[in-house]
Amino acid sequence: MTRVALIAVHGMGETLPDYADGLMAAVRARLGGLADGVAMRSVYYQDILQDNQKLVWERTAAHGQVRYHALRKFVLFGFGDAAGLENRKEIPASVYELAQGEIARTLLSAHATRPGMPVVFVAQSLGCQVLSSYIYDAQKAAAGKPVGAGIWRNIDAWAMQALGRTLTASERQFIGAGTCAGLITTGCNIPIFIAAHKEMHIIPIAPPTPLFKWINFYDPDDVLGWPLQPLSAGYRELVEDRAINAGDGVVGWVLRSWNPLAHNSYWNDAAVLDAITAMLRRLRA
């Protein structure tokens, strides 16, 4: 019987739909027989952005004189994702809104297996900002406050357009992260998006449930992965930062200085996998 859901959210850069397969397989192996009670899903929003980015890259590679192709491509796809998600996000059918729609659809799929079950999110890189904004917007909407962008600006209108029907109360709570009991962020770059704000305006999501626990993993050598506790008193109270050497023992000495491989190795790290498994075991029991 399904008892808990694990939802993965990918980060920046060129990403394939099966990006979470390795993570899920590693978690299943650690859980053993308990894995049968976990509904595993992955959110995929990269296809909203990727075709245009590929076109720009192909034109650059064919007609421009540029060096460091691998790193340059990572920067184009990665920062192109961030810029695309934030640019004009208030307009209807913006990239911001479409990405939130993918989160909601993935959660609805998990809800269908067992309404009301606890959810653990695992978000990487830009996905941490995408998910945090989604939950923040959902919580504002649930409190009756106006939301300026995304599906939570008018969740009923989104549901009618996307699903052809309104949401049940159970679905609305579930896709609004109302049963979220755990969040693990890796290579998180939320600070890049809010660093220019005054500290009094840097407010994290509210704990969705009494069981909620947020663990943030970052590698001190990863310039795109940041601790969250220094941001504000709210983050210091809510988040546990853990510094690790991402992927230690997997790619070895390469991680001693920053490169894209360092940023993308968190989900191979034993400390991250153990933390995910521990959360699921606690909730599964």
Domain enclosing residue 210, as ranges:
4-284
The pLDDT tens digits for 8-42 are: 999 877 788 999 999 999 999 999 999 999 999 99
Give me the average pLDDT of each 10-residue run along the chain (285 residues). 93 87 98 96 84 58 63 60 64 89 98 96 95 97 95 97 97 98 96 68 91 96 91 96 76 51 87 97 86
Quote the Cα angle for 46-51-55, to 5°: 140
What is the tally of structural domains in the chain?
A: 1
CATH number at residue 129: 3.40.50.1820
Residue 255's pLDDT is: 46
**Euclidean distance between the first and final Cα of the chain, in Å?**
12
**For the chain, how many residues are written?**
285
CA max distance for the chain: 58
Query: What secondary structure does DSSP assign to 73-85, as a single string?
Result: HHHHHHHHHHHHH
pTM for the model: 0.89
Residues 118 and 209 sit within 8 Å (Cβ to Cβ): yes
| Cα–chain center distance at 99 | 11
Query: What secondary structure does DSSP assign to the chain, as a single string?
Result: ---EEEEEE--SSS--TTTTHHHHHHHHHHHGGGGGGEEEEEE--THHHHHHHHHHHHHHHHH---S-HHHHHHHHHHHHHHHHHHTTTTSTT-HHHHHHHHHHHHHHHHHTTSTT--EEEEEETHHHHHHHHHHHHHHHHHTT----SSGGGSHHHHHHHHHSSPPPHHHHHHHTTTTEEEEEEES--HHHHHTTS-GGG---PPPSSTT-EEEEEE-TT-TT---SGGG-HHHHHHEEEEE--TTTTTTGGGGGS--HHHHT-GGG-HHHHHHHHHHHHHHH-
The pLDDT tens digits for 42-85 are: 999 987 766 565 555 556 666 666 665 666 666 655 555 555 56
For the chain, percent of residues with pLDDT exceeding 90: 65
Query: What CA–CA distances, in Å, run from 75 to 35, 68, 99, 120?
Result: 36, 11, 20, 29
Residue type (1 letter), 204: P
Residues 192 and 223 sit within 8 Å (Cβ to Cβ): no
Query: What CA–CA distances, in Å, run from 93 to 83, 96, 136, 150, 164?
Result: 16, 8, 19, 8, 17
Residue 254's pLDDT is: 47
